[in-house]
Structure 1
Amino acid sequence: MERPDSDNERRRRLAIAKNKGVVVQCAPRRMLALPPPPLPVPAHPSNQAKLAAIAVDLNVRLRSADMPPSMQERVIRHARALLDSNADNKKLNNTHLSLCLKKEFDAVYGPAWHCIVGKSFGSFVTHSSGGFVYFSMDKLCFLLFKTEVRPVVKKSPLLLQFNT
């Protein structure tokens, strides 16, 4: 492995090369940078058309989504089933609706799903890629999103005693 040249050495070599008529391009300095975000995978047009047909059929207005069409279809169908099962009640319990959607997605797609259901709410959330949908149905708005789960590492009590 070669040792990188110092700035003075690089400048000296460049000056010598210019005098001889040879053009030498030095590599730019390395900078630490975050990798570019992954490009979204475009959904197949037939999946988009199928999802649009389901949304029209179930009286759903899809507001925003960063989720595969199959997951969007699942949340829309599940929300419609919950609303239809509570059709006999004049007053729907939004907490019950959000809890049921959250538990469904926790069971199927892993933990850390969050759900907000209501007629009027504001939000600003950070979500995992491919885990966000916001739609309205029958005067109710639904926001379902997933956050990243990181394991918590606890120090054992014995280590805490020795470190003090």
Structure 2
Amino acid sequence: MERPELENERRRRPPKDKEKVVQCAAKRMLALVPATKPPAPPANHVQLAALAVDLNVRMRSADMPAAMQERVIRHSRVLLDTNADNKRFNPTHLAMCLKKEFDALYGPAWHCIVGKSFGSFVTHASGGFVYFSIDKLSFLLFKTEVRPVVATKKPPLLLKYKS
């Protein structure tokens, strides 16, 4: 029975060092100060958001300049609208058209995936990734880095097998 009383006494005793209590209270007060407002988004992001709403596009993730995002959104919407009459809808054709468009405008090594359901895990070059959906279709467009192949001076050794 004595043990619980000792624990209660420990809890009731005031702290020996009052300065530590003041410091802790000051730190808590600093933590409660409201943070400043986040900076307003740039005007081109606001325009991009308005365009996305207007064209029924849902941006999922992007690491791409706003002008490129606008181009891919507009081009994919046009492709969907031109193929809307087609009863045999082909997402592979959409992916090929988007890839070719971006290869022609921004250099090679663009990759595009279009579909209703797919998983992905990709590595992309900085500033070359966008993932969005229009209606029920999802679009993934990304760029990879292309490195030139350096030719070796000596041809590789060929092993001779005895037959």
What TM-score comes out, normalization by structure 2 length? 0.69
Contact kept? 1:134, 1:141, Cα under 8 Å: yes
Residue among 99, 102, 107 paired with 1:102: 99
Shift of 1:154: 2.4
Gaps in structure 2 of 5+ consecutive residues = 1-38
1:69 pairs with one of 52, 55, 66 = 66
- Whichever of the two has the greater Rg, that structure is 2
2:46 is paired with a residue whose SS is helix
Tell me how many residue pairs correspond in the alignment: 121
Give the unaligned 5+ runs of structure 1.
1-41
- Whether 2:105 is the aligned partner of 1:120: answer no
* Seq. identity, %: 75
**Which residue in the other structure is 2:147 paired with?**
150
Give distance in 2, aligned partners of 1:134 and 1:100.
16
Q: TM-score, normalised by structure 1?
A: 0.69
Deviations 1:29-70 (A, max 9, x none): xxxxxxxxxxxxx99611011000100110000000000000
CA RMSD in angstroms, aligned pairs only: 2.3
Which of 136, 155, 160 lines up with 1:160 in the alignment? Answer: 155
Please give the residue correspondences for 1:1-164 in structure 2 after superposition, counting only pairs within 5 Å.
Answer: 45-155=42-152, 159-160=154-155
Q: What SS does structure 1 have at the residue aligned with 2:155?
A: helix
For residues 146 and 117 of structure 1, the distance between their equivalents in structure 2, rounded to whole angstroms, comes to: 15
What's the CA shift string for 1:79-112, capped at 9, x where partnerless? 0010011011123101100000000000000000
1:160 alignment partner, SS class: coil
For residue 76 of structure 1, what is the amino acid of its counterpart? I
Q: Assess, with a 3 A threshold, how the Cα gap between structure 1 residues 161 and 124 changes in structure 2: closer, same or farther.
A: closer
Q: Which amino acid aligns with 1:48?
A: H
